[in-house]
Structure 1
Amino acid sequence: MNFKKILANVAIVAMTAALFAGCASSKNSAGNGKNNGASSNLPKVVNIGTQQMSNDEKIAIAKDFFEKELGVKVKIIEFQAGDIRNALVSKDIDFALLGSASAAQGIASGIDIETIWIHEVLGNAEQLVAKKDSNINSIKDLKGKKVATPYTTTTHYSLLKALELNGMSEKDIKLFDMQMPDIYAAWQRGDIDAAYVWEPTLSNLLKDGRSIISSKDMAEKGVITSNVEVVRREFADKYPDLVTKYIKAVNKAVKLYNENQADAIKTLSDSLEITPEEALKQTKGSIWLTAEQQLDPAYFGTSDKKGNLVKSLKDTADFLYKQKNLKKEPQLDTFEKAVNPSFIEKAIK
């Protein structure tokens, strides 16, 4: 009997050891999810900061392309232009849609981000509009007038460059820093004479205003602006596959716009609660690029030889520095590091 008891005890010990070994193996496998593709390595939620614009990201949001591609819960948070950079700094969001001027300032001021996508190259989608009864027919007519635009945005940059090209500066006008809803309210009250704005505020102002200059006009003068996507470098280093999947989602939206414009426009119309005609007009005011086009030397270039986007962002930062919107003089290598075509390259492989 004693011998049988001993055998039984040995069997129990062996089974217990095997059970613990199995649990330990499973635990180690889960803990090494980064190497074996286990879902435990993924974040519970990815936070995407956006703005109200008729672009590829808005289509991707409305069509649920992000959750389908990323395979995790995605939270979309809408911001006004000035607040979205603060959310990056506080790590409340992982991705952010910024104007190129805002991105340039953020990079130059030390926000640790990478530029990964161009949503659109801006043209008639951003314009300087003046009241019809304001006697403003040119940039020089702005002297002494009340003009509004959101600071450190593409419209702010374009306005300051337009003044510079006409031998003027912001000291020659009464410049107000306002977000789009506030600009429209001030316009209706008659508190401002002109504003450099984007859609949908632009269309509202043009109902009783006239266009003085557009970002398309400025591009022809060498002042190119765009809306870009940035990602926190910490997030990109930890979850590079998710960044690549973000690119796949927005590229899918661009392809939808190119191949089935009616569907894309209806999606924007429903999402933004505007007419299809308004949605089409807004999208026609800018240039949308596929992932393959973004790797052209005029834009991102490649990882081996980066393109003109580096110089464009650096030139923007240089101008902001001269305007005393930046404390430190921008360095080229900062922008070389911050423009990353690799995620686009991986997305199209």
Structure 2
Amino acid sequence: MKLNLSRREFHLTAAHMLLASSAGGALLGGAGPVFAQSSRAVKLGTFGAIDAQNYIRAKNLAPKTFGQGVGSDFVTVRAGSEVISAMAGGSLDMCNIGSSPMMVGYANGLKASMVYVYKNIVDSECLVVQGNSGITTVAGLKGKKIGLPFNTSVHFAAVAALKFAGLGLADVQLINMRADQIASAWQRREIDASYIWVPVLPRLTDDGGKIIFKTGDLNRQSLLIFDGLLVRDEFKRKSPDLVLAFLKDYEQIARGFKQDPKDVVDTMTKFLNVDEATVMRSLNTFYPVPASEQLSSRWMGKPGEKDTGVLKTLRTQAQFLFESGQITVMPEDVGGLVDSSFVAKMVA
């Protein structure tokens, strides 16, 4: 269940590239280049992906985004659980994260809130079957082996897709696999299907795999799968202007990702040492949601709204996490996780 342009894209390979990069930036637990003279600083998370944070980093835009005299520390993380741990320890202020680990953190008392829908997940995560299987629908997976990483957005999406197709967990074999294990298991034909994200997904389709379900298909069931921007509550209270500054620049950068891909390709191929096709694949599966849309009840809604698309999805995810034993206490009110006041300021 758990939205690089996904937080997941290149989160293994690029993180290692960044370790050796002379561009600097902190890894989780690292020293990090927070400017000593700064009276204020922001610790901004990135999954080592083609994301707005790394674009800011590559173009050295932090002084423009946050203002002169504000220090910036880019913290590279590899999983949503690392985001939660870092925020709990105060070593990370803001980061994009999937709604599943976000809910796990909230249920366990993390003092942080989602202030923005970072991206809508549509076709960067898909359910793919072996090309010679003859399976054309989700219902056709009965009795089959499906490999996927547990406790992620694809885990939640897979269970939801099975449910809407009339199948329960007892009807299939869900196999917990790391993303980097799936391609080899697929090649050995040890699994009949996989629900996985880019960049693993293209490796499966290149090997004959057929996509039968996209995460965006859940929209028809009023479920939204998304990445949110999570902000530590203490930082939000002390530096609301820095949160708002990042969101305003993020929206502009996200627009540029779609409207001016050449600039992004030129920037990110050099910064992450990846090829153009990889960058374009990421851009083509990146779906930002403008602040004006986020303020509608379909997404975050206006401050204080209780019946919104984001809240409905979070409640459904919380129930899934509780029933699957991933959280031990069902949150009484998930509304405390969502703060749309910054979005409201952006469109005022």
**TM-score, normalised on structure 1?**
0.77
Partner residue, 2:59: 63
Cα shift at 1:195: 1.6
Q: Deviations over 1:126-177 (max 9, x none)?
A: 1011222344433233333332222222111100111111222333333233
Distance 1:85 1:169, change over 3 A: farther
Partner residue, 1:328: 329
Unaligned runs of 5+ in 2: 1-36
Q: Which amino acid aligns with 1:261?
A: P
Partner residue, 2:10: none
Kept after mapping to 2: 8 A contact 1:115/1:231: yes
CA distance in 2: counterparts of 1:91 and 1:191, whole angstroms: 42
Distance 1:304 1:322, change over 3 A: closer
Task: Trace 1:57-136 onto structure 2 (pairs within 5 A).
Answer: 57-70=53-66, 71-136=70-135
For the pair 1:144 / 2:140, whether they are aligned, the reply is no
Cα shift at 1:267: 3.4
Partner residue, 2:310: 309
Partner residue, 2:45: 49
Partner residue, 1:285: 285
Kept after mapping to 2: 8 A contact 1:321/1:330: no
Between 121-130 and 90-99, the greater mean CA deviation after superposition: 90-99
Kept after mapping to 2: 8 A contact 1:112/1:232: yes
When the two chains are superposed, the root-mean-square deviation of aligned CA atoms in Å is: 2.7
Q: Deviations over 1:73-104 (max 9, x none)?
A: 22231313444333333333222321122223
For the pair 1:216 / 2:216, whether they are aligned, the reply is yes
Partner residue, 1:187: 186
* Seq. identity, %: 25
Higher Rg: 1
CA distance in 2: counterparts of 1:186 and 1:221, whole angstroms: 31
Cα shift at 1:269: 4.4
Task: Trace 1:172-251 onto structure 2 (pairs within 5 A).
Answer: 172-208=171-207, 209-251=209-251
CA distance in 2: counterparts of 1:93 and 1:63, whole angstroms: 21
Cα shift at 1:343: 2.5
Q: Which amino acid aligns with 1:49?
A: G
For the pair 1:276 / 2:272, whether they are aligned, the reply is no
Partner residue, 2:33: none
Kept after mapping to 1: 8 A contact 2:222/2:309: no
Between 184-193 and 239-248, the greater mean CA deviation after superposition: 184-193
**TM-score, normalised on structure 2?**
0.77
Aligned length: 307
Kept after mapping to 2: 8 A contact 1:47/1:77: no
Q: Deviations over 1:236-267 (max 9, x none)?
A: 22322222222133123123224423323443
CA distance in 1: counterparts of 2:272 and 2:38, whole angstroms: 36
Q: Which amino acid aligns with 1:148?
A: G
CA distance in 2: counterparts of 1:170 and 1:96, whole angstroms: 32
Unaligned runs of 5+ in 1: 1-38
Give the number of the structure whose residues are more often helix, by fraction.
Answer: 1
CA distance in 2: counterparts of 1:273 and 1:72, whole angstroms: 26
Cα shift at 1:277: 4.2
Task: Say which SS state the counterpart of residue 119 (structure 1) adopts.
Answer: strand
Kept after mapping to 1: 8 A contact 2:224/2:310: no
Q: Which amino acid aligns with 1:51?
A: F
Cα shift at 1:57: 4.1
Distance 1:62 1:296, change over 3 A: farther
